[in-house]
Amino acid sequence: MRKLLGKMVSTDLTIEVVGEANNGEDCLAKVQETRPDVVLLDLMMPGMDGLACLHEARTRKLDTVFLVVSSHAKANAPITLEALRLGALDFVTKPQATPSATPIHLELLAKLRAAHEVKLERHGAGTPLDDDAESAHQPLPLEVTELAEAPGDSLPEPAEVIEVGDLEPRRGIDTSGTLTIIGGSSGCLQVLPACLDGLPDHLRGAIVLVLKLPAFLADQLPAQFAARCPVPILMATAGAVLEPERIYVAPGGPEDLLLEADPGGPPRFRLVETAATGEIAPCIDTFMTSAAAVLGARCRGVLVSGTGVDGIDGLRAILDSGGQTAAQDHDSALAPQLPQAADSAGVVQKVVTPVEMADLFR
């Protein structure tokens, strides 16, 4: 599998493979020796596995970006969430078929380029690589770790998802409070623990998390974070009423989440086919813009770690409607491109740390 991945990335002449490793211990040694920009890391390996490797890399403060490449990335969402929480920037699901089957080729190259942009941004190296720019022809060192699965390793069972319908609607509660929308992509899961741990027992309004994650990961978030969250956290489903003192997770997959007014009561969620070409749903701009149109000045938008520009137009719509905006600070964001781009666009009123985000809800 390492040879196959090496052939895939070598088709891009701007990428250089500088080494291979057999397991986590070997990986850490090779990282310190070759100092790569990006490491492709399996999760299930003999000896030190991928999760332990990520934890140790963070402890040693190794200056590299990790991309998980594992057959368990999709089959077992909790272990993937844990890898992302421990510092992996993103993941690619390893193909189970023969080496001739390479469905992940283009996805792998795209995520390698995004990971390199993150590395450049961390060091203030200027704008991301452009295919037409001279800098695009500079090599991108890459380290690939072994992708063979260790026999006999057991994986945690996927957690059950809490649906909105599992909780009875509260009666007699004012639904006119503020709605805070937190949007992000790469590295967004790292900011959630610090933010959720600091939430008060009673929110001022509601929170909607619009995170650009595939469905199998987004579906796990309510159960994964329920233990550390003092208020109910649930999936936003089509037709569900937006209620205060709750946190909603926008579902991943092929549909975007909207908020629409209901003449007979509080706003409701709606799911529509995504209009963005080549983008991972849900679209942050789409939900923020719809919420701003419904709630006006009672809408707040926060952009956290991520790449790209999805969310900037959403913050602008919230500002235009009289709402408030914020973005995660550069130093705490694993991928600071998105919040920094929003700040540069002039649509951010306040830059906050993850702990300060929790204070917004007191």
Q: Is residue 96 part of a domain?
A: yes
Check whether residue 118 and residue 259 sit in a common domain: no
- Domain extent for 250: 164-359
pLDDT of residue 243: 93
Instruction: With respect to residue 153, please indicate whether it lies within any of the assigned structural domains.
Output: no
Pair (68, 169) in one structural domain: no
Same domain, 249 and 335: yes
Which two structure tokens, joined as six digits, stand for 45?
């390996």
- Same structural domain for residues 131 and 196? no
Residues 130, 206, single domain; the answer is no
Residues 195 and 108 in one domain: no
The token pair that represents 212 in the structure block: 């650009």
pLDDT of 2 reads: 84
Same domain flag for 196 and 283: yes
Q: Residues of the chain whose pLDDT is less than 50?
A: 99-101, 125-176
> 129 and 202: one domain?
no
**Where are the strands (E) in the chain, listed by range?**
15-21, 38-41, 65-70, 90-93, 140-145, 179-184, 206-211, 233-235, 247-249, 255-262, 265-273, 299-303, 324-328, 350-352
For residue 177, being part of any structural domain is answered with yes
Residue 151 belongs to some domain of the structure: no
Instruction: Look up the CATH number of the domain holding residue 253.
Output: 3.40.50.180
Residues 139 and 192 in one domain: no
Residue 285 in any domain: the answer is yes
Within a domain: residue 272? yes
Same domain, 69 and 97: yes
**186 and 107 belong to one structural domain:** no
* Sheet of strand 233-235, all strands in order from the earlier edge strand to the far edge: 233-235, 247-249, 206-211, 179-184, 299-303, 324-328, 350-352
What's the total number of domains in the chain? Answer: 2
Q: Point out the domain boundary residue: 112, 145, 178.
A: 145
Instruction: Kindly state whether residue 157 falls inside one of the protein's structural domains.
Output: no
Query: Within this chain, do residues 236 and 132 fall inside the same structural domain, yes or no?
Result: no
pLDDT the model gives residue 96:
64
Q: Which two tokens stand for residue 77?
A: 């969402």
Which amino acid, 159?
A: A
Identify the domain boundary among 145, 174, 191.
145
What's the pLDDT score for residue 301?
96
Determine how many CB atoms are found less than 10 A away from the CB of residue 311: 32
42 domain residue, yes or no: yes
How confident is the model at residue 157, as a pLDDT?
Answer: 38
Give the CATH number of the domain where residue 19 resides.
3.40.50.2300
Burial of 145 (0-12, 13-18, 19+ CB in 10 A): buried
Q: Across the chain, which distance is largest between two alpha carbons, in Å?
A: 65
